[in-house]
């Protein structure tokens, strides 16, 4: 089996790993053995796997949503391109998906924002969805956010999910301007997802550390450069964090830490929505759309005093 075939098999397992897979114990056993026998080779494998996003088929509803949009291919400066879709007219709101996701995953936000007078832009990051396939780093995703924003015009708002929140925060730190931002189920950094990844696939902690070192050399940046709490004090855009206590992929505490360190940020806590269902919940969508539109409709920050937490009385639901 070639490396590409192995990575494809593993990524297919990861996409399904929200439920147990019979392949996972086999993969874990193989990676444990390789970690013991050849840790540097195992680190190379782990790096390639970590930087190859899982790809999933779009549901029919997302395909229909994309078909209704204005599609455009945008160059991102390194010779590659990303696919973008736009709905409506007015101030731009950019949707930023997470690792292994795609733009239309945030499709529930399109209609409410368009109804409020916004133009909504979604895109598939490098290595994701309809964009070009290959190894992808977070700096490449950051560059893609900047390129898409520059191409489509000034941002009235930004909504990001999961690791997409790390990407968005880094882009804002590097100069991306937006009037408001909403982070949903946000990761506070990349270290925790990386540790979870290597642990899930059976690599040793030593191999995990070697993988971290390889990736840091590849991107010529420390992992701390993508710590949202460290970036947050320099970021001035009003932020609403929405995080579910039952998020099984990115713990709620990540959202809490971001809110604590981001000046004036607000935290909306939900229950029973998990990591992905939260993107389709009507109350969450309404709260995010209202927060984004408040900058235009009221010209001031809405709602609560800075850094106060809210809880949404949402019904329990399976992840």
Residue 181 has pLDDT above 50, yes or no: yes
Q: Which two tokens stand for residue 17?
A: 């790993």
- Give the strand order in the sheet containing 266-270: 70-75, 81-87, 119-124, 92-96, 155-161, 181-184, 239-244, 266-270, 309-311
Q: Which two tokens stand for residue 268?
A: 């909306």
Residues 203, 42: contact at Cβ < 8 Å? yes
| Confidence tier at 297 by pLDDT (50, 70, 90) | low
Rounded to 5 degrees, φ, ψ at 289 are -65, -40
The crossing angle, in degrees rounded to 10, of helices 205-219 and 191-200 is 130
CA distance 159 to 106: 9
Q: Could you tell me which residues come within 8 angstroms of residue 169 by beta carbon, excluding any fewer than 6 positions away?
A: 183, 228, 231, 232, 235
pLDDT of residue 315: 33
CA distance 112 to 107: 10
Enumerate the domain spans of the chain.
Answer: 3-53+192-219, 69-189+227-311
| Confidence tier at 309 by pLDDT (50, 70, 90) | low
CA distance 80 to 198: 28
pLDDT of residue 48: 95
Residue 62 has pLDDT above 70, yes or no: yes
For 247-281, what is each residue's pLDDT tens digit? 999 999 999 999 999 999 999 999 999 999 999 99
pLDDT of residue 310: 53
Q: Which two tokens stand for residue 267?
A: 């935290």
| Confidence tier at 134 by pLDDT (50, 70, 90) | confident
CA distance 163 to 142: 11
Rounded to 5 degrees, φ, ψ at 272 are 80, 10
CA distance 124 to 216: 24
pLDDT of residue 107: 96
CA distance 124 to 19: 25
Q: Which two tokens stand for residue 189?
A: 């950094």
DSSP label at 153? Answer: -
On whether the 69-189+227-311 domain is CATH 3.20.20.150, my answer is: no
Average of pLDDT values for 55-80? Answer: 88
For 17-43, what is each residue's pLDDT tens digit? 445 577 899 999 999 999 999 999 999
pTM to 2 decimals?
0.86
Residues 274, 318: contact at Cβ < 8 Å? yes
CA distance 193 to 249: 8
pLDDT of residue 17: 43
Instruction: Give Cα separations from 221 to 166, 192, 217, 233, 287 (angstroms).
Output: 15, 17, 7, 20, 35
């Amino acid at each position: 089996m070639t490396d590409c075939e192995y990575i494809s098999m593993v990524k297919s397992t990861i996409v399904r790993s929200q439920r147990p897979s019979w392949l996972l114990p086999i993969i874990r056993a193989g990676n444990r053995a390789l970690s013991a026998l050849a840790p540097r080779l195992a680190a190379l494998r782990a790096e390639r796997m970590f930087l190859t996003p899982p790809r999933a088929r779009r549901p029919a509803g997302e395909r229909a949503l994309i078909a209704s949009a204005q599609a455009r291919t945008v160059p991102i400066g390194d010779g590659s391109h990303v696919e973008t879709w736009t709905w409506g007219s007015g101030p731009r709101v950019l949707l930023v998906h997470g690792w292994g996701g795609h733009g239309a995953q945030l499709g529930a936000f399109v209609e409410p924002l368009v109804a409020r007078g916004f133009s909504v832009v979604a895109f598939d990051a490098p290595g994701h969805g309809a964009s070009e396939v290959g190894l992808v780093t977070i700096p490449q995703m950051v560059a893609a956010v900047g390129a898409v924003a520059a191409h489509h015009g000034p941002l009235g708002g930004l909504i990001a999910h999961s690791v997409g929140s790390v990407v968005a925060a880094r882009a804002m730190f590097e100069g991306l301007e937006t009037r408001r931002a909403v982070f949903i189920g946000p990761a506070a950094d990349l270290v925790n997802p990386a540790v979870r990844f290597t642990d899930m696939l059976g690599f040793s902690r030593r191999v995990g550390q070697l993988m971290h070192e390889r990736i840091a050399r590849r991107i010529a940046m420390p992992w701390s450069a993508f710590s949202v709490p460290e970036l947050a004090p320099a970021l001035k855009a009003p932020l609403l964090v929405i995080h579910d206590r039952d998020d099984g992929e990115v713990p709620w505490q990540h959202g809490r830490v971001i809110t604590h360190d981001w000046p004036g940020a607000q935290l909306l806590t939900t229950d029973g929505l998990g990591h992905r269902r939260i993107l389709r919940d009507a109350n969450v969508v309404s709260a995010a759309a209202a927060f984004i539109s408040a900058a235009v409709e009221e010209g001031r920050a809405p709602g609560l005093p800075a850094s106060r937490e809210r809880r949404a009385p949402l019904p329990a639901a399976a992840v």
